[in-house]
Amino acid sequence: MLEELRIQNLGVIADATLPLDSGLTCITGETGAGKTMVVAGLGLLFGGRASRAPLGADRALVEGRLSVGEAALELRERAIEAGADLEDGELLLARSVSAEGRSKAWVGGRGAPVGVLSELGELAISVHGQSDQMRLLQAAEQRAALDRFAGADHGKVLDAYRAVYAELGACASELSRLRTSAREMAREADLLRLGLDEVTAVDPQEGEEEELGEESRRLENAEALRLAAATAHAAITGDPATGDGGASDTVGAAARALEHDAHADPKLAEFAERLAQAGVLLAEAAVDLSSYLDDLSADPRRLEEIYQRQAALKTLYRKYAEDLPGVLAWAENARKRLEELDVSDERVAELEARHEDLTARTADLATQLRASRREAAARFSESVSTELKGLAMPHATVTASVEPRPAGRGGVDLAVGSGAEAAVSGATEDGADEVELLLRPHPGAVPAALHKGASGGELSRVMLAIEVVFAEIGGPPVLVFDEVDAGVGGGAAIEIGRCLAKLARTHQVLVVTHLPQVAAFADRHLVVSKDTSGAVTVSGVRVVDDAARARELARMLAGMPDSHLGVAHAEELLAEAAKMKS
């Protein structure tokens, strides 16, 4: 229960404290006094959108004190989780908005995100105003109202449907992406295969480039190499034709000369040994040069083959990489990419099978959802129509129509239903049904959609009847109505007052009203009054009872709070309301 509400610097309210109680509390006052600011303050306190503080004020502040009983287990747990200390079962909430628009929130005296106030508000309070009546004309709101009424089991089916529908959407998007890109993927695969075929045909080998370079240089300079090797060979071995000795003979003669007299000086023996070794090296070099000359040949055909091989390698460098290691790395990466692209066909087939399965599961859940909605629609229609009888609409009926949504009007078309009721319907995340509330105000009238068949007063009463039905099946313990009686007067207003009083037996109900017939049923009556004595109009709130309450009702009845006849009429209205409540 909301025990107290304090509002500072919000609209025309400078500083006002509203002492609240259980039962029905009515808030009245002249037009422009700031009654709606009370509802705005409640919205701000429970996480609603904030506007800046009025000019001249540092901040707007709303504070609330709630009594949280043991029965409100979820509310208690969320408050404690936010750091609140529920001393004596009381929960203190506060929200401020600075002149710059910065917002702060407190839960149980501790700073908290504004979102926590919103979460607590969903558990503690439900606010209904004229804007809610306009929303009730929307198909989505009507479907949401029916889903809310249908209960927890229906909610589980709806949650399961939404989860599978989301999977179906993701699968369809991925499948569409793969199908759309299949052409590009096929083109990429063809290019990769052509490249790999070209690389495979050349078959480059690691280190091949260096070997080809060395061999080509030898073949290009074969005659010069032959002349150099032959000259060196002749210098070592001599010329047999002329009998001239070569370096080998000369070194041998020198070694022999030293060996002849080496016994006289050991150093000569050392020199002789070194010359003998040099002679051996010269002999070996001569043999190697002879073999080199035998192997060396000028082969133009082989040189042409090398040139062609080098040209083939350069073609690969120009297309795929700047060097041989790069070409080999490209080929390896191309093979891996081809494997991925080849798997894409399997992936498409896999997704197609999954899409088919998800489509069947979504259609099955949509069928369950439709059956559940139709069962709930019958109960909902009966309950709301029953409440309307107590709101001066004794012959009116409200029917919740649940029909298949036409194909093509949803995110995906599904075969929903079975047997004769099977039909292709357009499905969205909320199902494959179109829900519409139809009002038949009196026998003989054709049921029509609320936005076509309901006047402002009828719409107010239909919304109140729906709220009463919701209150009977659970929901927040505090209900706030902002001019829910708009467009209503006379006997219908009395019936609305009686309905609200009945609702207040199980809930705390706060009503902002212009109607004395509604205010007469209040257990506590608050009046918002404005003071225009100063330069700025400000408003305050006071509790009225007995004579003051009768004068307020007289003002509401005829605008004459001091009229004896008006006060007498007001007292009669209060007595009649008390009799109806008892």
Cβ-in-10-Å burial (0-12, 13-18, 19+) of 475 comes to middle
pTM as predicted: 0.64
* pLDDT tens column, 335-361: 988 887 765 677 788 899 999 999 999
* pLDDT tens column, 227-251: 787 778 778 887 766 667 788 878 8
Question: How do 524-531 and 238-239 pair as beta strands?
Answer: unpaired
Spell out the residues 6+ positions from residue 112 whose beta carbon is closer than 8 angstroms to its own: 82, 83, 105, 106
Domains and CATH numbers, the chain: 1-128+477-544 (3.40.50.300), 154-376 (no CATH), 546-582 (no CATH)
Q: Which of 397, 345, 30, 52 lies closest to 175 in space, CA to CA?
A: 345
Query: How large is the average pLDDT for residues 453-457?
Result: 73
* pLDDT tens column, 112-137: 888 888 888 888 888 887 676 677 78
For the chain, what percent of residues have pLDDT higher than 90? Answer: 27
Torsion angle of C-alpha atoms 281, 287, 293, 295, degrees rounded to 10:
-120
Higher pLDDT among residues 396 and 215, named by residue: 396
Higher pLDDT among residues 218 and 166, named by residue: 166
Whether the pLDDT of residue 308 is over 90: the answer is: no
Cβ-in-10-Å burial (0-12, 13-18, 19+) of 301 comes to exposed
For residue 53, name the pLDDT band (cuts at 50, 70, 90): low
User: What pLDDT, on a 0 to 100 scale, did the predictor assign at position 582?
Assistant: 76
User: What pLDDT, on a 0 to 100 scale, did the predictor assign at position 519?
Assistant: 92
* pLDDT tens column, 321-340: 888 889 899 999 999 888 87
How far is residue 409's CA from residue 425's CA, in Å, rounded to a whole number? 8
Spell out the residues 6+ positions from residue 214 whose beta carbon is closer than 8 angstroms to its own: none
* pLDDT tens column, 72-96: 778 888 888 888 877 778 889 999 9
Q: What phi-psi label fits residue 89: left (phi over 0), alpha (psi between -120 and 50 degrees) or beta?
A: left
For residue 49, name the pLDDT band (cuts at 50, 70, 90): confident
Query: How large is the average pLDDT for residues 99-117?
Result: 87
Whether the pLDDT of residue 450 is over 60: the answer is: yes
* pLDDT tens column, 527-574: 988 776 544 556 678 899 889 999 999 998 888 888 888 899 999 999
Which amino acid is present at 211?
Answer: E
User: What pLDDT, on a 0 to 100 scale, did the predictor assign at position 535?
Assistant: 46
Measure Cα distances from 402 to 64, 142, 376, 581 in Å.
41, 11, 10, 37
